[in-house]
A and B are shown apart, each in its own frame.
Chain A
Amino acid sequence: MEAIEVTDLRKTYGDTRAVDGVTFTVRAGETFGIVGHNGAGKTTTVECLIGLRRPDAGAVRVLGEDPARRRRALAQRIGAQLQESSLPERIKVAEALRMFGSFYRDAADWRQLMERWGLQPLARKAFGDLSGGQKQRLMLALALVGAPEVVVLDELTTGLDPIARRETWRLVNDLKMTGTTVVLVSHYFDETEALCDRVAVLARGRVRAMGTPGDIVAQTGTASLEEAYFALEGADR
């Protein structure tokens, strides 16, 4: 079954074609990576999936529904970590997890989540006093507090230290084991190769290549996803 179907998605800002005809599908339970240069249209694409932006053209279906029309209903089943967002400065970690948990019909146990994501020692710390990586980790945990079927992670580990990154990978792998569908935007090839079943390489609002990391490497006749990416980008310039 397809969890996500995107067909010829288009979104223009003024004369910037942020997304210029993107098509892909994500099967239920799959971890799907999106990589690409700054301004490639990654955030625009994933924000269309969660109904935060309305496509100019094209069709988007998430769990069989149109996010632009059914955002609230879908939000019960989708968790999101945005590239940029925050919480009130003075809200405490435990308070935020408990409050977000109250928004969902079938929420995960927020205490367990706090434990799993290593946030327990920070439970009584205010959001404004957390380090960048700690904030990131909290926002990730908040994306999971509704026990979602689909999780969208925009720049999962940007700003995390190397150990925290590996730790996060482990937790994303756990998510995969539970059958959660994951869409992962990332600038790191090691991460994409380690976590993603399939990857789309976006460039200037279009899908430049798509497939398993192995497929993309083979298509370009290179040795790694990173080299494949440089080969694709180089060919365009």
Chain B
Amino acid sequence: MKAFTALTATELRLLLRDPASLFFMIAFPLMLLVLKRGDGDAVPGYLAMIVAIGGMGALPGIVASYRERKVLKRLATTPISPVLLLGAQLVAQVAAGLAGSVLLVATAIAAFGAQAPGNVPVLAAAFLLCSVMACSLGFVIAAVVRNTRGASLIGMLVMFPMIFLSGAAVPRKALPDALRRIGDFLPLTPGVDALRVAWSGTAAVFPLLILAGIIVVATAVAATLFRWE
């Protein structure tokens, strides 16, 4: 536990030391909010966007570089399992996403008078599931694509269309029919739905179950395909 805490604290510091993650997970969503003149309806989608940027945009490259640069191998010579480093990376991504999200929500409420979230416990659960789901997809990418550049690139290529088609960055109502239908099959869509419903104050169990299902499947796939070297 002492080791896991130390690993997680380090991973979180490393994330916050990276200007790109800092910008995309904290400053960028705030900029969007300002551009939208504090439109409160957009906030739940932006939360999904933040965790997608971290879990799919950043995580695959980080994990692939740990493998390629033999950080995982060095860790395997210690009493710690390299799996713990991946766990620490997951917790750090969730925590960094949470920091960005809390800042965004606070700004929306304090500066733009947005309506406060209706059901905070369910919102928290939706956020956690959505964030872990995004990371689990990131791990699948890091498992399938071997080198660092490739994993980063594929991560971006998966993440960008997804945040636009799932309703995270722009409302799906604004999309043409064909594109909206693609969104029905994207794993981030139930994430956006879950966050939106919880924000408005009701509790829908179905999107949460779908998220949990995706997490289980993606983790199993990643664990099967992951190569440590």
Contact = CB atoms under 8 A, between A and B. Distances in A.
B73 A75 contact: no
B14 A91 contact: yes
A79 to B, nearest CB: 8
A32 B125 CA distance: 56
A86 B79 contact: no
B70 A82 contact: yes
A80 B2 CA distance: 21
Contacts of B80: 103
Interface string B157-187: 0000000000000000000000000000000
Interface string B1-44: 01101110010011001100000000000000000000000000
Given A95-B10, A98-B6, A103-B3, A85 B71 contact: yes
A88 B66 contact: yes
Interface residues of B, number: 23
Contacts of A78: 77
Contacts of A71: 76
Interface in B65-115: 65-66, 69-71, 73-74, 76-81
A91 B14 CA distance: 7
B77 A82 contact: yes
A76 B76 CA distance: 12
A84 B74 CA distance: 9
A146 B13 contact: no
Contact of B14 (A90, A100, A102): A90
Of listed B5, B66, B74, B77, residue having the most chain A CB within 10 A: B77
A95 B13 contact: yes
A76 B79 contact: yes
Contact of A82 (B3, B74, B79): B74
Given A75-B79, A76-B79, A90-B14, A99 B6 contact: yes
Nearest to B2: A102
A75 B18 contact: no
A140 to B, nearest CB: 12
A166 interface: no
A85 B72 CA distance: 9
Contact of B74 (A73, A85, A98): A85
Contacts of B76: 52, 71
A165 to B, nearest CB: 22
A98 B76 CA distance: 17
A99 B79 contact: no
Of listed A52, A98, A103, residue having the most chain B CB within 10 A: A103
A52 B73 contact: yes
Interface in B117-165: none
B101 to A, nearest CB: 23
A72 interface: yes
A87 interface: yes
Of listed B2, B13, B74, B76, residue having the most chain A CB within 10 A: B74
Contact of A87 (B7, B74, B79): B74
A52 B77 contact: yes
B17 to A, nearest CB: 5
A90 B74 contact: no
A212 B9 CA distance: 47
A117 to B, nearest CB: 17
B78 A75 contact: yes
A77 B71 CA distance: 20
A104 interface: yes
A103 B80 CA distance: 6
Query: Which are the 7 A-B pairs with shortest beta-carbon distances?
Result: A85-B74, A102-B6, A85-B70, A80-B77, A75-B79, A86-B69, A103-B78
7 contacts: A50-B77, A52-B77, A87-B74, A88-B65, A88-B66, A88-B71, A103-B3
